Structure 1
Amino acid sequence: MLSDHNCSGIAGFCVVALACIGREKWIRRRKSKQRADWGEISARGESMLLPVFSYMPDLMKSLQDPYHPYTNPRGHITLCVAENKLAIELIGSRLMQYETSSRAFSDAAAYCYSNTLGLPGPREAVAYFLAKHFMHPELTDMNVTEALDHVRPEHVAFGAGAGALVSHLALSLMDEGDAVLIPAPYYAAFTFDLTILAKSTVVPVHSPNPSVGPTPDELENVAASAEAKGLRVRVLLLTNPNNPLGTIYPPEFVRSSIDWARNRKIHTIVDEIYALSVRESGFESVLKTLNGDLRNDVRDNGFNSYLSNVMQRLNTDNAHTFHFYSFPKVHHVYALSKDFCASGFRIGTLYTKNQRLLSCVANLNSLSTVSQPMQLIVQDLLTDDNFIYGFLEHTCQRTRYNYEVCASHLDQMVIPYIPAKAGIFIFADFSSLLPEQTAEGEARFFSLLIDAAKIILTPGQAQRDRKPGMFRICYAFVSPEVLGIAMQRLDRLVGKIRRCHDWDNLNAKSLIDIIL
């Protein structure tokens, strides 16, 4: 028989045990609640789960089931990726030369920390390349010394691709929520690049004729409308040659747009990633249009810069006011991704005379510096004039052939398209085939392309085109033979749709012979 003392001790133990059990249950419930509140990642992390573009899941599906003439003839054919695969072996054979890799890995600088904007030699090579092929392409015999008189290496920075640089520019030039104007339609991933970190507000600028771009009045109307909604307009972003149109903006448009931005005291970013993928004359780089003049105010004759320096020496409180007006506000972005069939290299370049901006990019680059062996390889490539001129001629021939294959099939199908002078895509109008002239109608046609023809194109809605049924066809992503197969499938699908009077009759049975 237990004593009162023992009973009291057991009772006390039970109370403590129950209390501990209750506490553990409370802790488990609390942790469970915290997990529910926090999720597996933060709210900020949740925002980063958004796909780069809306059709990303469909792209992943197509890449997991690629067409092959023998092993998978009923596979998907991807025509939504702006990547040039037609001359990879040419660039590959050049870069696999022993001297190139030897120079890249024998230089001690490749193994050490350095300026995150880039090594001196590679930055000088980019400056030479920009001066020779962008600012003064007519001077084919320009030497390095002459080139560096036009483009200074200290105004050049590397970045992990053009997208990363656009993101860095948005972070450095804009506060959260600030607006960036982009002539529409535009590259689908710009929205991701500008919003994923910088949280900018992307405002499309529509115009009656997108191929020639919006007028200053149209830019002003859109800017004023954005400001009426409480947005602060900070940046104008131009892409020339244009993606997705494949057209070339005339120099007059580029200059008038920059003049408009300068008068409004906002920055202009000019993305010329397709500058050397041009099949017809007419392209002029902004560096040539402005003759390298990236100043803030088109009317500034140097007096503002002089006055700013004087005020700073006097340490006056108003020095920053004058310095603001002397900030260079045109920033040039390029990358090796398109013209050199090297999107996997993740090498972009920024050219700007805004030293404070370069300091921002230097800090941001500390988290994503371009590897120094790759910089040295790029240095070797960009200073090899004979190879570059020959390579660009070969790639132009190959892309022209695929363009003609694509265009001729569209002509046979009586599908309108915008004649492309540059780039690696065609912007085509399939609106006559939609079940209804809405975004939903475009989505149904897009699904039919994937399900019945196993072709994936870039939908116009993802590129902010107002007209349903516009699609970008990236013809350089596949060989001429595979492109021909894709266009045959598309031709058969178009014929089926035109012969069918009711979209509900377009089912698996009626479309079974699209893929032979």
Structure 2
Amino acid sequence: MGHHTTEYNPFSTTGQSIDTMNAKDRSSSSFSIATFSALGLAFIAFKKWEQRRRRCRDVRDGLLADGNASGSINNYISVRGQALLTPTQPYIMDYLKCLQDQCDPHSNPQGYIPLCVAENKLIIEHFASRLMQVETAYRAFSESIVYCYNNSLGLPGTREAVAYFLTKHFLFPEERNLSFQEALHWIRPEYIAIGSGAASLVSHLAMSLADPGDAVLIPAPYYAAFDADVKIFAGCVTIPVHSADPTIGPSAKDLESAAVLAEAKGLRVRILLITNPNNPLGTIYPPTVIKSAIDWARSRSMHTIVDEVYALGCHEELGSGFESVVRILKNDLGNDVHHLWALSKDFGASGFRIGTLYTQNNHLLSSLANLNIFTSVSHPMQMILSEVLTDDNFIYQFLDNAREKIRYSYYFCTKRLDEMVIPYVNAKAGIFVYADFSALLPSQTPEGEAQFASLLLDAAHIIMTPGQSQKDLKPGMFRICYCFVSLDVLEIAMNRLDRLVGKIRRWHWDNLNSDSLTDIL
């Protein structure tokens, strides 16, 4: 093809036939054919692109989500993305269904009642009243530091506030008059990291302390989302640690058995993750159990993460038996023990996405400084956090009020369970009760537990956290999160549950039908 194409109009040959064209014209004519061919190919390519775009949109809208439509899902999402398609918790879809039609005692008394989420909605109003003060909002936006980049581990003043708070409520809870400077002498702010929730920090810890395929030991039953927290980014594997009496906590023998089992599968055991007070049991591990577990982990050169997000929700303020790992170890965490806390439970503010980490491992903090770039807490929220955590008068009053509300709902819930003759674990902390419905199952199997959960949802419009998702070996264990709803809604839920229990005992599973299940709602 020549360089004279600019002289030729491909849309006009001025009436000349190809045979009478000179060489120059024939060259230009050849270009015109090539141009039309190129345009045609471009048009075809455009149509194919448009088809792909529509199909990607269809996938986004769920039209190809069942995998039965033509085309491979690999065209629309990566292998890593496909691994994330499964909900992190198996009952999450039922929970979302409940949220679309929630029970209201007056406007929707037959609506759904979700009792599967560990959130304390009873204390939100009290906490909100403190945050909505004009001075608090002013401070959140008045200082230039909130508008600029800063240390991804947290603003200096916020890390100081967290250190102060942890010293007063975890290390020396009996020392209410401890001054700000005295507190910072014990827990140093440079050992504090702030992240977007406890889940984010657990994920970052797994990333920094373990390699893909490494095992994380967790005493069972345990919080269902831990599986996703250590797997999604870090690629770690959870190994439940089963004990003869889970309410007491794991012994060194229990931990060793679980570790040997993991190693038999070719896994390197790297982390021990403990939640104290325990979720879902609501029990408190004795200090001797915590110390023994840490000693065992250290004998294997492992790291121990101690999650204490329910620490300030003990049903009794002092003398409840809870002792923070910070106090148990006399504030000497070393490089291998890492303490977690968050606003999500004790302050009913899971939506704030604020978690705290206390670690004395400087290399770990340097690693987290890079990871936290992607999950930092906004600076205005950090300013609010620092103001609230150092407001001693409010904090002590708020926590006393929160414990009173928790106790009242707990006693109401367990009283009704007693009336139904449903066994449960006596809780000393937390915002849930772990109940045993195994005698009501159609079979003592995971399938029987799932059948009961489905009946509970369909007939009574209630959802509770099933034990199977919490790695409980005994089918029929369910966690009831009684603080997720108001007392009047909780009463409706317990009335429905009472009627359903009565129907199952009277009719048995073989005779349960639409007629026998009437009058539950």
TM-score (norm 1): 0.88
Q: Secondary structure at the match of 1:103?
A: helix
* Residue 430 of structure 1, aligned match among 430, 434, 437: 437
Give the match for residue 476 of structure 1.
483
The offset of 1:135, in angstroms, is 0.6
**Considering only CA atoms, is the larger Rg found in Structure 1 or Structure 2?**
2
1:351 aligns with 2:351: no
Equivalent-residue separation in structure 2 for 1:376 and 1:27 (angstroms): 51
The offset of 1:372, in angstroms, is 0.6
Equivalent-residue separation in structure 2 for 1:456 and 1:253 (angstroms): 33
Aligned counterparts, 1:425-464, within 5 A: 425-464=432-471
The one-letter code matched in structure 2 to 1:448 is L
1:200 aligns with 2:236: yes
Equivalent-residue separation in structure 2 for 1:24 and 1:378 (angstroms): 57
Aligned counterparts, 1:83-98, within 5 A: 83-98=119-134
The offset of 1:253, in angstroms, is 0.4
Identity %: 59
1:141 aligns with 2:177: yes
For residues 163-193 of structure 1, give each alpha carbon's deviation from its aligned partner in whole angstroms, at most 9, with x where no partner exists. Answer: 0000111111111111000000000111111
For residues 98-150 of structure 1, give each alpha carbon's deviation from its aligned partner in whole angstroms, at most 9, with x where no partner exists. Answer: 12112221111111110010011110000000011001111111111111111
Equivalent-residue separation in structure 2 for 1:459 and 1:225 (angstroms): 25
Q: Secondary structure at the match of 1:456?
A: strand
**Higher relative contact order structure (alpha carbons within 8 Å, sequence separation ≥ 6):** 1
Equivalent-residue separation in structure 2 for 1:492 and 1:377 (angstroms): 46
Give the match for residue 162 of structure 1.
198
Aligned counterparts, 1:269-348, within 5 A: 269-280=305-316, 281-295=320-334, 328-348=335-355
The offset of 1:333, in angstroms, is 0.6
C-alpha change, 1:150 and 1:21, in structure 2 (3 Å) is same
Give the match for residue 90 of structure 2.
54
Give the match for residue 177 of structure 1.
213
Contact in 1 for aligned 2:243/2:249 (Cα 8 Å):
yes
Give the match for residue 117 of structure 1.
153
The offset of 1:5, in angstroms, is 5.3
TM-score (norm 2): 0.88
For residues 414-457 of structure 1, give each alpha carbon's deviation from its aligned partner in whole angstroms, at most 9, with x where no partner exists. Answer: 00000000000000000000000000000000000000000010
Give the match for residue 137 of structure 2.
101
Equivalent-residue separation in structure 1 for 2:384 and 2:337 (angstroms): 28
Equivalent-residue separation in structure 1 for 2:520 and 2:418 (angstroms): 19
Give the match for residue 238 of structure 1.
274
For residues 180-239 of structure 1, give each alpha carbon's deviation from its aligned partner in whole angstroms, at most 9, with x where no partner exists. Answer: 000000001111111111111010011110001121011111101211211011100000
The offset of 1:505, in angstroms, is 2.3
C-alpha change, 1:368 and 1:4, in structure 2 (3 Å) is closer
Give the match for residue 41 of structure 1.
77
Contact in 1 for aligned 2:105/2:488 (Cα 8 Å):
no
C-alpha change, 1:102 and 1:260, in structure 2 (3 Å) is same
The offset of 1:504, in angstroms, is 3.5
1:514 aligns with 2:520: yes
Equivalent-residue separation in structure 2 for 1:154 and 1:17 (angstroms): 68
For residues 343-364 of structure 1, give each alpha carbon's deviation from its aligned partner in whole angstroms, at most 9, with x where no partner exists. Answer: 1111000000111111111111
| Unaligned stretches of 5+ residues in structure 2 | 1-15, 21-25, 57-70
For residues 314-361 of structure 1, give each alpha carbon's deviation from its aligned partner in whole angstroms, at most 9, with x where no partner exists. Answer: xxxxxxxxxxxxxx0100010011101111111000000111111111
Q: Secondary structure at the match of 1:398?
A: helix
C-alpha change, 1:12 and 1:129, in structure 2 (3 Å) is closer
Give the match for residue 301 of structure 1.
none
Contact in 1 for aligned 2:103/2:110 (Cα 8 Å):
yes
Equivalent-residue separation in structure 1 for 2:32 and 2:516 (angstroms): 77
The offset of 1:52, in angstroms, is 2.1
Tell me how large the CA RMSD over aligned residues is.
2.5
For residues 251-290 of structure 1, give each alpha carbon's deviation from its aligned partner in whole angstroms, at most 9, with x where no partner exists. Answer: 0000000000011000000000000000131000000000
C-alpha change, 1:132 and 1:4, in structure 2 (3 Å) is closer
The one-letter code matched in structure 2 to 1:483 is L
The offset of 1:508, in angstroms, is 2.2
The offset of 1:13, in angstroms, is 9.9
Give the match for residue 3 of structure 2.
none
1:382 aligns with 2:389: yes
* Residue 249 of structure 1, aligned match among 262, 267, 285: 285
For residues 359-415 of structure 1, give each alpha carbon's deviation from its aligned partner in whole angstroms, at most 9, with x where no partner exists. Answer: 111111111210011111011111011111111110111110000110000000000
The offset of 1:18, in angstroms, is 9.0
1:505 aligns with 2:511: yes
1:79 aligns with 2:118: no
The one-letter code matched in structure 1 to 2:123 is A
Contact in 1 for aligned 2:243/2:254 (Cα 8 Å):
yes
The one-letter code matched in structure 2 to 1:506 is L
Q: Secondary structure at the match of 2:279?
A: coil
Give the match for residue 425 of structure 2.
418
Equivalent-residue separation in structure 1 for 2:113 and 2:51 (angstroms): 45
For residues 54-91 of structure 1, give each alpha carbon's deviation from its aligned partner in whole angstroms, at most 9, with x where no partner exists. Answer: 00000000011000122211100111010001111111
Contact in 1 for aligned 2:507/2:516 (Cα 8 Å):
no
Equivalent-residue separation in structure 2 for 1:342 and 1:192 (angstroms): 21
Give the match for residue 397 of structure 1.
404
C-alpha change, 1:20 and 1:92, in structure 2 (3 Å) is closer
Give the match for residue 130 of structure 1.
166
Contact in 1 for aligned 2:146/2:379 (Cα 8 Å):
yes
C-alpha change, 1:490 and 1:114, in structure 2 (3 Å) is same
Equivalent-residue separation in structure 2 for 1:343 and 1:210 (angstroms): 27
Equivalent-residue separation in structure 1 for 2:52 and 2:212 (angstroms): 31
| Unaligned stretches of 5+ residues in structure 1 | 296-327
Equivalent-residue separation in structure 1 for 2:225 and 2:96 (angstroms): 15
Give the match for residue 408 of structure 1.
415
Equivalent-residue separation in structure 2 for 1:55 and 1:152 (angstroms): 41
Q: Select between 177-186 and 224-233 the one with higher mean Cα deviation.
A: 224-233
The one-letter code matched in structure 2 to 1:206 is H
The one-letter code matched in structure 1 to 2:187 is V
* Residue 222 of structure 2, aligned match among 173, 181, 186: 186
